[in-house]
Amino acid sequence: MADKTNDLLQGALELLILRTLQNESRHGWGILKRIEQISKDELVIHQGSLYPALYRLEKNGDIKSAFGLSENNRKAKYYSLTKAGEKRLEQEVATWGKFARAVRLILKFA
Partner 1 sequence: MDDEMAFHLDMATEENMQKGLSSEDARRRAKTDFGGIAQTKEACRDLWILEKINQFWKDFRNGFRQLNRFPSQSIISILSLAMAIGLFATLFSVIDKLLLSGMPFENPDELYYITWEASEGGFRPNISLQDFADFRKHQTSFTDIAAIRGAYITLNESGEMAYRYRSSMVSENFMEVLQVKPLLGSGFQKGDSYSGGEMSIILNERIWEEQFNRDPEIIGKKIFTGDKLYTVRAIVSNSFRFLTGAVESWKGEIPRRVENMPRNGGIPTWLTYGRLKPGVSVDQAEADFKSIAASLKEQYPKINAGRDSVNIRPLIEYYMSDNMRNLLILLQVAVLVVLVGACINIAILRASQAANRISEFAARSALGASPRQVFNQIIIESLGIGLLSSIIGLSIALYGIRGAQWWMNNSVFWPSEITVELNRSALAVGLTLGIIASVGASLLPAIKVYGLDIIKYLREGKGSVSSFTTGHLVRGFVVTQVALSFAVLVGMFIMLQIFLNLNRKQLPYDPDDFLTAQMLFYPTYYPSVKERGAKMEEVLESMKAIPGVKNAAMSFRASLSSAYSGEAIIEGVVYQDQSDYPSLSCRVVTQDYFDMLNIKLLEGRLFTHFDTHDSNKVVIVNQAMAARFWPNESAIGKRLKNPENQFADEWMTIVGVIQNLPERGIRLLNTNVPCYYMLSRQHMLALWEVVLECRGDPEKYAQPMREALAKVDNSLGLMYIRPVKNDFGQQAFQLTFVTRLFTAFGAITFLLSLIGIYGLFSSYVSQRIREYCIRYALGANARNIWQMIAKQGAVLTAIGLLFGLVNGYGVFLWLKEVFPLFVYASHFYFLLALSLVVTTAFAAIFFPARKAITVNIANVLRSD
**16 or 31: CB nearest partner 1:** 31
Per CB under 8 A, residues contacting partner 1 are 27-29, 46-48, 51-52, 55-56, 59, 61, 67, 70, 72, 74-77
Nearest distance in Å: CB 30, partner 1: 9
Nearest distance in Å: CB 40, partner 1: 17
Nearest distance in Å: CB 63, partner 1: 14
**22 or 60: CB nearest partner 1:** 60
27/78 Cα distance (integer angstroms) = 4
66/93 Cα distance (integer angstroms) = 26
Residue 47: partners with Cβ closer than 8 Å, 6 or more residues away = 32
**71 or 107: CB nearest partner 1:** 71
Q: Which amino acid is at 93?
A: V
Q: Which amino acid is at 17?
A: I
DSSP symbol at 65: E
